[in-house]
Chain A
Amino acid sequence: MEIAQNILLTIATAATPLLIAAIGELIVERSGVLNLGVEGMMVIGAVCGFAAAILTGNAWIGVAAGIAGGALLSLLFGFLTLSLATNQVATGLSLTLLGIGLSGLIGEGFVGKAGVRLPTLDIPVLTDIPLVGRLIFGQDPIFYMSIALTAGVMWFLFRTRAGLTLRSIGDNHKSAHALGIPVIRYRYLAVMFGGACAGLAGAHLSIVYTPQWVENMTAGRGWIALALVVFGSWRPWRVLAGAYLFGAVTIGQLHAQALGFGIPSQLLSSLPYLATIVVLVLISRDRRLTTMNTPASLGQPFVPDR
């Protein structure tokens, strides 16, 4: 049974960065902005987090640096798409390319160095409860942050006036502007929240998941996070379910490889991506489901008339 707990723990660790990045992007998309640069912001968060942790010897400073790195890069995206009204898809794609290149440059001197790991929670007695102790009371702090973040975003979106305003902007930015809602300001804040989340998700990879720096270490997780937002049809708890499903698929294929199933490892590694495609196809078949939940002004540039 100890094996089962270990498997569940690894699933949670694999799912956490997906969940955090996806929840951040969910807020961005709910405000009507499509930021395809999640992968780039994540990898910048990973390298900034890793470097700051090594240089200061403090993993928490690393986490903060990861968040700051992601937020800073998203600010560039915000400036281009919100203030200059550039095409969001093209800008987001270039943000990913920029992030990957820049992280390689920053991380050049850190390749192969041993990183600083964020300690897991250890509460005497509670953590030692058999079967579930480590699962509930013995994980890394970012895991708990990810759960709190999901609950917080849910509460914000559906229980607060600011959340209602954010949703209204995503639904129709022209109407929102006509009512005097500061569309651009809300979107800047949403974009930076998304960037901070992507940065945190990246820092989780390089400080908790595998405390080392490898170029391009996000390995497509940013894209999965983007797909998860659609998968969860812009609902936080569905995104959480999706993140754990994909975490399980990722871990499952590792175990399958270890057990030596007669399936080529390349095919197994591609499972999460294939699953993304299958899920997207299934979801987009139900048009009512997608259109009811899709922020209607998603991806459209907004230029207020003056």
Chain B
Amino acid sequence: MNDVGATSSSPTLLKVEGISKTFGELKANDSVNLDIVPGEIHALLGENGAGKSTLVKMLFGSLQPDGGTIFWKDQPVVVTNPMQARALGIGMVFQHFSLFDALTTAENIALSLDEKIAISTIAERARALGDAYGLPLDPNSVVGDLSVGERQRIEIVRCLLQKPELIILDEPTSVLTPQEAEKLFETLFQLKSEGKSILYISHRLEEVQRICDRATVLRHGKVVAHCKPSEETPSSLASMMVGADVDAVERASKEGPEGDALLEIRDLNRAAASPFAVPLTAISLAVKAGEVIGIAGVAGNGQGELFEAISGEVLQKAAGEVRLRGSDVGRLGITQRRRSGAAFVPEERLGHGAAPTMKLSENLLLSRYRTDAKAFLGSLGVIRNGAITKATKRIVEEMDVRKSAEDPEAAALSGGNLQKFIIGRELDRKPAVLVVNQPTWGVDAGAAAKIRQALIELARSGSAVLVISQDLDELFEVSDAIAVMHNGKLSVPLPIAEATYEKIGLLMGGAEPGHASHGVELGAS
């Protein structure tokens, strides 16, 4: 059979038939079908937990399917490991980058190339290839020092160096600024014009509609639809993904007079906590009663460090750097800051927001026995189990936490449900100030809407809410003003009426704050 005949009679590059994968009780993939033709950008759509990552891991050989067949150019293949996938011509750009912080760019690339070539040769090739595709990189830089966008370029160049025919991109834009995403799309179109196929995993509908030729939609591990995104609307795609209409978040406009500043940050500075961390420089911000302020930024620009400083996990040099309800708390620890009416929800749910192997009720007690001792502890510090059970129940009902047992361990809950519980636990205290880092990271659309609505309602009831997030859509949904964090510095908050994706995106990419304030003046005039 000659090559021309093979391509003309069999247009599919990759075909998946009835593939299944079960983890314990969970059917992560249930008889999934998928086919990709040469030169197309094919979207794999689905919510978190729909089984997208499981499917591509099986295509790339990191996981073994329980049943079903994978055809590569019409030949059935069993992909037992990533090396074999690469040999076939399948390349992968991972969502959570599979890079090594302590190694150089060239060393990182060398690790995924199966042929043994000298590092210096690899460095040259990577540089040349990067230039050809508009993905500049420095082979000698240490990865730990690089930004997320730069890391992704390394991943893509590494993948292209293997000359793949199919490139799998797992949520590539979730870590990019809008401008960086534009550049990525240009690269993808260039690859497509060269006849390469791309499997593009995303839950961002606008993106998928813009760049993808066809789409396969997954829900709860099953394929629910094959469609052409250009012929759909965002809401029809969303309802395919979610299986029901998602309640839109309602943001009642702020009413009444300006409230008092309940959370104030004044010229906060912090040295870099580790070689790969960002120092915080001269951060100032005030969050008033009744409003939600959002902090945008590409991951790793100091948001985590800022959260730690506000919550009191790290103390400040001067007491006045952080103020809660008018008093200096910069030298006080997390419990005292909570006692003065603040509540904090960290980014990491398991291990930071909740103790994984402890029950929900125990987690509730752990975070509140110091702040609400009267409610939960009797005389001599004896635990009042009745009160705790009642409060746990109240939170579970209020936030619609779905669980399998009466009082399960935190780790037994799905990410979204645990996040609802953690946020509910803090809301239950009716805090005057709430600081949340990544409130809906990895949470399904229904739960995310619930959480966002709760944040807005808390603010409207007179509290000050600060939301740190990488999800711009989320920030535009909940915030009254958005500030941007870049390289440890915080911009002046932009009122939501004047903020656009473009303005925020430029600030995320490091444009001068002066440029943005200029934009504000234009918008205001």
A residues apposed to B, CB below 8 Å: 161, 164-165, 167-168, 171-172, 174-181, 287-288, 291-293, 295-296, 305-306
Is B330 interfacial (CB-CB < 8 Å)? no
| Beta-carbon contact of A175 and B98 below 8 Å | yes
B236 to chain A, nearest CB (A): 34
Given contacts A180-B82, A306-B64, contact A292 B100 (CB under 8 A): no
Given contacts A161-B110, A164-B110, A288-B275, contact A175 B97 (CB under 8 A): yes
Is B116 interfacial (CB-CB < 8 Å)? yes
- Inter-chain contacts of A291 with B (CB < 8 A): 274-276
Within 8 A of A (CB), among B75-97: 81-83, 85-86, 94, 97
Within 8 A of A (CB), among B91-132: 94, 97-103, 107-108, 110-112, 116
| Beta-carbon contact of A168 and B275 below 8 Å | no
Q: In the bound complex, how far is the Cα of B82 from the Cα of A181, in angstroms?
A: 9
Closest to A180 in B: B82
Could you say which of B83, B97, B99, B275 contacts A180, with CB atoms under 8 Å apart?
A: B83
Residue of B23, B61, B85, B111 contacting most chain A CB atoms (<10 Å):
B111
Provide the B34-62 mask, 1 if CB < 8 A to any CB of A, else 0: 00000000000000000000000000011
Residue of A165, A172, A178 contacting most chain B CB atoms (<10 Å):
A178
User: Would you mind naming 11 contact pairs between A and B with Cβ atoms under 8 Å apart?
Assistant: A171-B101, A172-B100, A172-B101, A178-B62, A179-B111, A180-B62, A291-B275, A291-B276, A295-B102, A296-B101, A306-B64
B128 to chain A, nearest CB (A): 22
Is B285 interfacial (CB-CB < 8 Å)? no
- Inter-chain contacts of B111 with A (CB < 8 A): 164-165, 168, 176, 179, 181
B111 to chain A, nearest CB (A): 5
Provide the B171-209 mask, 1 if CB < 8 A to any CB of A, else 0: 000000000000000000000000000000000000000
Is B63 interfacial (CB-CB < 8 Å)? yes
Q: In the bound complex, how far is the Cα of B101 from the Cα of A168, in angstroms?
A: 9
B464 to chain A, nearest CB (A): 34
Closest to A177 in B: B62
Closest to A165 in B: B111
| Beta-carbon contact of A179 and B98 below 8 Å | yes
| Beta-carbon contact of B275 and A178 below 8 Å | no
| Beta-carbon contact of A178 and B101 below 8 Å | no
Closest to A294 in B: B102
Given contacts A180-B61, A306-B63, contact A296 B98 (CB under 8 A): no
Closest to B274 in A: A291
- Inter-chain contacts of A305 with B (CB < 8 A): 23, 63
Q: In the bound complex, how far is the Cα of B62 from the Cα of A68, in angstroms?
A: 35
| Beta-carbon contact of A171 and B274 below 8 Å | no
Q: In the bound complex, how far is the Cα of B102 from the Cα of A187, in angstroms?
A: 19
| Beta-carbon contact of A178 and B98 below 8 Å | yes
B158 to chain A, nearest CB (A): 9
- Inter-chain contacts of B64 with A (CB < 8 A): 306
In terms of DSSP, what is the predominant structure of the interface of chain B?
A: loop
Interface size on B, residues (CB 8 A): 27
| Beta-carbon contact of A167 and B98 below 8 Å | no
Closest to B114 in A: A180
Could you say which of A171, A180, A181, A288 contacts B102, with CB atoms under 8 Å apart?
A: A171
Given contacts A161-B116, A180-B82, A292-B275, contact A168 B100 (CB under 8 A): yes
Given contacts A172-B100, A178-B62, contact A164 B107 (CB under 8 A): yes
- Inter-chain contacts of A181 with B (CB < 8 A): 111
Interchain residue pairs A-B with the least CB separation, the first 9: A180-B82, A175-B98, A178-B98, A171-B100, A180-B83, A171-B102, A288-B275, A180-B81, A168-B100
Q: In the bound complex, how far is the Cα of B99 from the Cα of A167, in angstroms?
A: 12
- Inter-chain contacts of B101 with A (CB < 8 A): 171-172, 296
| Beta-carbon contact of A175 and B82 below 8 Å | no
- Inter-chain contacts of B116 with A (CB < 8 A): 161
- Inter-chain contacts of A176 with B (CB < 8 A): 98, 100, 111
A178 to chain B, nearest CB (A): 4
| Beta-carbon contact of A167 and B62 below 8 Å | no
Residue of A168, A174, A287 contacting most chain B CB atoms (<10 Å):
A168
| Beta-carbon contact of A174 and B102 below 8 Å | no
A286 to chain B, nearest CB (A): 10
Q: In the bound complex, how far is the Cα of B316 from the Cα of A139, in angstroms?
A: 58
Q: In the bound complex, how far is the Cα of B143 from the Cα of A305, in angstroms?
A: 26
| Beta-carbon contact of B103 and A178 below 8 Å | no
Q: In the bound complex, how far is the Cα of B110 from the Cα of A149, in angstroms?
A: 26
- Inter-chain contacts of A296 with B (CB < 8 A): 101-102
Residue of B100, B101, B108, B274 contacting most chain A CB atoms (<10 Å):
B100
Q: In the bound complex, how far is the Cα of B95 from the Cα of A178, in angstroms?
A: 11
Within 8 A of A (CB), among B136-172: none
Residue of B62, B63, B83, B110 contacting most chain A CB atoms (<10 Å):
B62
- Inter-chain contacts of A171 with B (CB < 8 A): 100-103
Q: In the bound complex, how far is the Cα of B63 from the Cα of A305, in angstroms?
A: 7
- Inter-chain contacts of A306 with B (CB < 8 A): 63-64
- Inter-chain contacts of B102 with A (CB < 8 A): 167, 171, 292-293, 295-296
Closest to B272 in A: A288
Closest to B118 in A: A161
Q: In the bound complex, how far is the Cα of B81 from the Cα of A264, in angstroms?
A: 62
- Inter-chain contacts of B98 with A (CB < 8 A): 172, 174-176, 178-179
Q: In the bound complex, how far is the Cα of B98 from the Cα of A217, in angstroms?
A: 45
Residue of A168, A176, A179 contacting most chain B CB atoms (<10 Å):
A179
Closest to A160 in B: B116
- Inter-chain contacts of B83 with A (CB < 8 A): 180
B415 to chain A, nearest CB (A): 16
Closest to A182 in B: B81
Residue of B97, B98, B108, B116 contacting most chain A CB atoms (<10 Å):
B98
Closest to B96 in A: A174
Q: In the bound complex, how far is the Cα of B143 from the Cα of A292, in angstroms?
A: 12
B384 to chain A, nearest CB (A): 35
Q: In the bound complex, how far is the Cα of B98 from the Cα of A181, in angstroms?
A: 12
